[in-house]
Structure formats: C-alpha cells, structure tokens
A and B are shown apart, each in its own frame.
Chain A
Amino acid sequence: MSDMEETEGAEGPLAPRRVIGTPPPTPRLLGSTAVAEGGDAGQVSDETGGAEHSDEVLVGTVSDERAKRVEKIIAGCFTFAFIAGCGFIAAYVGLEVGSNRLGHGDSVIDAALRSNLALGTSLAVTLIALGLGALLWVRYLMPDVEVTEQRHDLRSDPKDRQAFEQYFKEGASNSQFVKRPLVRRTLMLGTLPLLAAPVVLLRDLGPLPGTSLRHTVWSPGRRLLVFGTDTPITAAEFSVPGSAITIVPEGYADDSDALTKATVTLIKFRPGELDIPTRMAGSTLIGTMNWTVDNIVAYSRICTHVGCPVGLYEQTTHHLLCPCHQSTFDASIGAEVIFGPAPRPLPQLPITVDAQGYLVAKSDFTQPVGPSFWERG
C-alpha cells in the first residue's frame, strides 16, 4: 500500500526533479522551503502526466510505475463518479413517482421505493467514488510533508493603526458628521423605525397563545369517539374488564392540532381494582372516583414529561408506560407516577354518560395537559 516512498535516498541528488509522492531526500525542518519545494513537486507531477516528459523524470523507478497505476485507479474512480452522477440525474428524470404519472396498476409506494433506491444508490456511489479517488490521490500521489504555518500577531503594527486612525478622522471631518447636528440627528431618526421593525414583525408571526395551553377542546357533553372508526361508545359496549382504547373528542376526530392535546386513553377495570384518591391542586379538583363511570376511567394520553403519547397499557399491572423515557403511571390509582421522569400524574378527564348511554365528557380537563410550561404553577 505505502509504496510511494521506496526510492527514498536514491533520488537525493535529483531533489528538484523529485517524483511526486516520494518523501523529501532528507528530513527537513518545516517552513517556507518545504512549501516552495512542495509546490515545485506539484508542478512536476502535472507535467509528468504525459509520456513526453518521462525521460526527464526518473523513468522506470518503481515509484513512478506505481504512481501511474494509482493515477489510473484514481481516474477510474472519478470516471465512475461521473457515470453514477449521470445515473442520478437519469433516475431523477426517468423514474416517475407522482400518482398521476404512473401507469395503471402501478403502486405509488412501490414507485417511491424504486425511485428512492435508485436516487440513494447513485448519489451514494457518486460521493463514495469521489471521496475514494480524493483519498487515494492524497495518500499515494501527494507528498507526505507536514507543513507548519506560524501564527502571527493579531494586532496590527503601530504604524498601520496610526494610519487608519488618521484616515478615519479625516473621513469624519470631511463628511462633516460632527459639524452638522441636524443631518446627524435626522439620519438617526430616519433609521429608528427600521430598528423597531423586527418587534412588529415578530409580534405578527401568529396569535399569542393566551390560555390555550390550559384548555383542550373537551367540553361538557362532548362524546368520546373511538379513534380510527370515529364511533361513539357506550359504557355497556366498553364492559369487558381489562379493555383499553384510544379516544378522540367528537367533532375533532380529524383535527390534528386539537388531538395533540385532547387525545385520551379509556380503560375499564374489574370491580374493586380502580381506586382513585381525591386529589386537589390548590383549590382545583384534579382527580376523583366521581369522574369515572362503572370502573371506566379516562386519562390524558399526553405524557406530562415532554408530551409523548403514553401508549403502552398492561392490564395485569395497570401500568401505563410512556415509550419515550419510560415514565410509568399506575392507572388504578389515578395515573400516579411510579417510575421515570414525569413530574405529575396524567390528568384525568371527567366523564359521565348522556341520555343515550354514550360516554361523554363532564367538562374539560381541570388542569393543563402535557408537559410543564413556565407559568403553569
């Protein structure tokens, strides 16, 4: 592999015409000389590309032959990259993904998969071939010389500083900026609105959140719909102990903005298993058995940690587990946190049944759902 340095020593006298890729004849101190010679060597290598110069530069040495071979490999890599790059463009133009452009019986998903595979493969091959070529170039053709660049003082020298000061003062005096306060002050006045503009523009980015973090779309009498089929459900239909189902509010079943806060997990317990202690937050009731119907309880599905959907329910242990950070809530005692980073229980949605027997909300959540925020209290 490291075959470019074999002629070390032998080429000592011919140093200026040294074949590119061979180390310098003697270990040298780094500095401007090294850089200059490196540049020199680079020029030579450019010329040695053609055969006409081969008699001038160390014909027939092992390193020269190998350099030529590596050169071919590198050129091959770059050519390959060119072909693959053309393939990328061809795949982009040639493989249709739009449903209106596909033939009958051709699946949109299959077309997208096909297109992604072709685009990804061709682009990856292009970049890898380019990278490999560059790597081989650096490793086997360029000289292996370490170059040290000295840092210089960041501060300009006193003469330059003085000249600049002089120049600045002259400019200031010529402009009469100091001399004419009216112009100066009206200029400042003129730019003032532009300074204030960002405040106005940012203010207009959207409505202020107001109290929306504290409320969801649940309201008294709003029916609980089974997510997906969007059908209301009665307590009798949800009577098998150990059942759990995802619930969305009626009227908002397809409103993703509303659902990010309002989605609920409905759980049915065996008689005697559910025992929610009455809990208060300040003067607000936040959990009670009175908000359940026949051992059916509804909890917010949004984790109080960072708002992931708390999806995993184990009917044997009554654990509700958040898959993001393993916060675990005990659903049988008011979704108290029993493990993990969640700071408070999942809010309980007060539920009851309406005249037709369907499960409905008694009211909105009495506390903000989801993760903490500054003014939550």
Chain B
Amino acid sequence: MSWFNARRRRPVAGYAALLLGLVVVGLLYGAFSSTGGSAQASSPGPSQSDINTGKDLFDATCSSCHGLDAQGTTQGPNLIGAGAAAVDFQMSTGRMPAKEVGAENERKPVTFSAQQIYEIADYIASLGGGPAVPDAQQVSTAGADTALGSELFSANCAQCHGFAGAGGALTYGKDAPPLTQATPTQIYEAMLTGPEAMPVFANGSISPSAKRDIIAYIVDTRVEPNPGGFSLGRTGPITEGLVIFLGGMGFLVIIALWITAKRRDPRPTGME
C-alpha cells in the first residue's frame, strides 16, 4: 500500500488509471455482449399435414407483417417464391420473427423448434417454389477445396464479411454480420437466397460444389491460430491500427514521460 501511495500522485498515475478504466469497461462490454446459439436440424420431408401446421404457425406469427397469404404488406415483403431456404435461414438464425421493422435484423436466440421452422418453410415453399433447404450432404465440407473456397470468398464475400468472416460495415449504418456462429446450412442458405442487403449467389454463378468450398474456408478459418496470440476481432487493419495507435503510441508516450521526468528527491538530506 505504501508503494501505491508513493506513486499515486505521479503524473503517470493519471494515465495508468485511465488505461485501467478503459480495459475494465472493454472487458465488461465483451462479457455482456456475447449472444446465444442457433437451431440445427436435419432435412425436412414435406407433407400436407406439415404444410397445414406451417400455415397455422405462419398465420399466428408471421402474417401480421407478411400478409395472411404471404403476399406481403407495407410492413414486410412478399414471400411467395422466397423458398424454404430463405425461411429456414431467417428463422433458424433468430432474425425472424423480427423485433421491429427495419432494413436489418440481428441474429438472436431462436424461439421456434427446428420442426416448426421446417413446417413454415414447407408452407412457404408450397406457395411458389423457391430454393429448398440444403441437406447434410450438400453442406458437407468433406473433401472440399478450401483453397478455391478462399479465392472465391476473397473475391465475393470478404468485402463485406471481412477476410476472416468477422463482419464489417455497409452503407448508411448497416453492417454485414460476422460468420462465426453461422452453421454450414445457414451459410449455404444465405448464399442461395441473399438475405437482406446480401446479393444472391445462386447455383448458376457459384456452383453447389463451389459453395461447399466457401463453407469449408469459413469453417476452417475459425480454428486458424491467431499469430501473436491476439485475434483483435480479426477485422484486419482497423483494430490492429487502433491498438498500435492507442496502445503502442500511448505506451511510448508514457515511456517518454518517464525518461524525461524530473527526478525527485525522495527524502530530506537530514535523514541520512
């Protein structure tokens, strides 16, 4: 404690306290801002009873925005032809049902069972086709060409999602979500249906096997080690620059202050 008292009035102490405060706030924010998981299930087998149950669920939870016949309203888009894949992506990531009407919906905890989601998906598919939910075989990354996936990802996905899938900013306050929690099925569905601002990467332009390559790259990248031990959010030069600028330069400034600080006489001469 005397060590602390002797130093707390020094000029450096203020900087140290500020730094400590920032670190504590950052850690607290990080601890409380993490989000939950997502639903995962096997391929659905559409039947008339599924479709009927799906319609009931749709009428109860979705029709207020998308209309009683999924024809769309001023609040929500027309879902005829949207396809089962779009429904499964939106609902299994918790984006739908939306909390509010807006250009973007965040990933949030799922409130429906996988079975219920498939029933609604079957109902929407029965209205006008559209891309189906991919089965486990289609999204399997076994034997995929990760190198080609990396090339395709950097040409078509990395601009928005970042080179390591950490997400990034779009125009006018929107953002591309991180791909760290997305399941292979959800990634496949997103490419197929182009949710929200994301463009569509249909099978004509990105073939099913190329999609598996991209998924393999995304999944592989998650377990890549972080050189130096810190991921810094994996958003690239922005956080790295910020850390160097604030942390590195701040450290150098403190060192410079210490080097040039006047030495104090710690005790009166009479005490010798």
Binding site for B on A (CB under 8 A): 1-10, 61-62, 113, 116-117, 120, 135, 138-139, 144, 226-229, 231, 233-234, 236-246, 266-268, 309, 311-317, 319, 321, 323, 326, 328, 339
Do B156 and A246 touch across chains, with their CB atoms under 8 A apart? yes
What are 29 pairs between A and B in contact, CB < 8 Å? A2-B263, A5-B265, A6-B266, A7-B269, A227-B152, A227-B156, A228-B148, A228-B210, A229-B152, A237-B202, A239-B204, A242-B200, A243-B194, A243-B202, A243-B204, A243-B205, A246-B156, A312-B160, A312-B170, A312-B171, A313-B199, A314-B199, A316-B103, A316-B197, A317-B171, A319-B170, A321-B170, A321-B171, A328-B171
Do B272 and A245 touch across chains, with their CB atoms under 8 A apart? no
Q: Which residues of chain A come closer than 8 Å to B264, judged between CB atoms?
A: 2
Of B156, B159, B263, the residue contacting A5 (CB under 8 A) is B263
Q: Which residues of chain A come closer than 8 Å to B160, judged between CB atoms?
A: 311-312
Taking A8-B269, A315-B197 as contacts, is the C-beta distance between A233 and B263 under 8 angstroms? Answer: no
Do B227 and A113 touch across chains, with their CB atoms under 8 A apart? yes
Do A245 and B269 touch across chains, with their CB atoms under 8 A apart? no
A9 to B206: give the CA distance in the assembly, Å. 83
Q: How large is the interface on B (under 10, 10 to 19, 20 to 34, 35 or more residues)?
A: 35 or more
Do B263 and A238 touch across chains, with their CB atoms under 8 A apart? no
A269 to B199: give the CA distance in the assembly, Å. 10
Interface SS, B side: loop
Do A117 and B227 touch across chains, with their CB atoms under 8 A apart? yes
A34 to B272: give the CA distance in the assembly, Å. 26
Q: Which residues of chain A come closer than 8 Å to B156, judged between CB atoms?
A: 227-228, 244-246
A7 to B198: give the CA distance in the assembly, Å. 73
Q: Which residues of chain A come closer than 8 Å to B227, judged between CB atoms?
A: 113, 116-117
Of A2, A9, A238, A313, the residue contacting B269 (CB under 8 A) is A9
- Seed contacts A233-B204, A316-B196, A328-B171; 11 additional CB < 8 Å A-B pairs: A117-B227, A227-B155, A227-B156, A228-B155, A231-B207, A240-B194, A240-B204, A244-B200, A245-B156, A311-B159, A312-B170
Listed residue (A2, A240, A267, A315) with the most chain B CB atoms within 10 angstroms of its CB: A240
Task: Tell me, yes or no, whether B228 is within 8 Å of chain A by CB.
Answer: yes
Task: Tell me, yes or no, whether B225 is within 8 Å of chain A by CB.
Answer: yes
Q: Which residues of chain A come closer than 8 Å to B210, judged between CB atoms?
A: 228-229
Taking A3-B266, A116-B227 as contacts, is the C-beta distance between A315 and B205 under 8 angstroms? Answer: no
Binding site for A on B (CB under 8 A): 103, 148, 151-152, 155-156, 158-160, 168, 170-172, 174, 176, 194, 196-202, 204-207, 210, 225, 227-228, 259, 263-267, 269, 272
User: Taking the nearest CB of chain B, how far is it from the CB of A354, in angstroms?
Assistant: 17
Taking A6-B267, A313-B199 as contacts, is the C-beta distance between A229 and B207 under 8 angstroms? Answer: yes
Listed residue (A228, A242, A313) with the most chain B CB atoms within 10 angstroms of its CB: A228
A344 to B220: give the CA distance in the assembly, Å. 40
Do B148 and A6 touch across chains, with their CB atoms under 8 A apart? no
Of B151, B198, B269, B272, the residue contacting A228 (CB under 8 A) is B151
Taking A3-B266, A314-B170 as contacts, is the C-beta distance between A241 and B158 under 8 angstroms? Answer: no
Of B152, B159, B196, the residue contacting A312 (CB under 8 A) is B159
Do B171 and A319 touch across chains, with their CB atoms under 8 A apart? yes
Do B155 and A233 touch across chains, with their CB atoms under 8 A apart? no
Q: Which residues of chain B come closer than 8 Å to A240, judged between CB atoms?
A: 194, 200, 202, 204
Do A315 and B272 touch across chains, with their CB atoms under 8 A apart? no
Taking A2-B266, A228-B155, A328-B171 as contacts, is the C-beta distance between A315 and B148 under 8 angstroms? Answer: no
A243 to B117: give the CA distance in the assembly, Å. 26
Do B207 and A8 touch across chains, with their CB atoms under 8 A apart? no
User: Taking the nearest CB of chain A, how far is it from the CB of B66, in angstroms?
Assistant: 17
Taking A228-B148, A238-B205, A245-B206 as contacts, is the C-beta distance between A315 and B265 under 8 angstroms? Answer: no
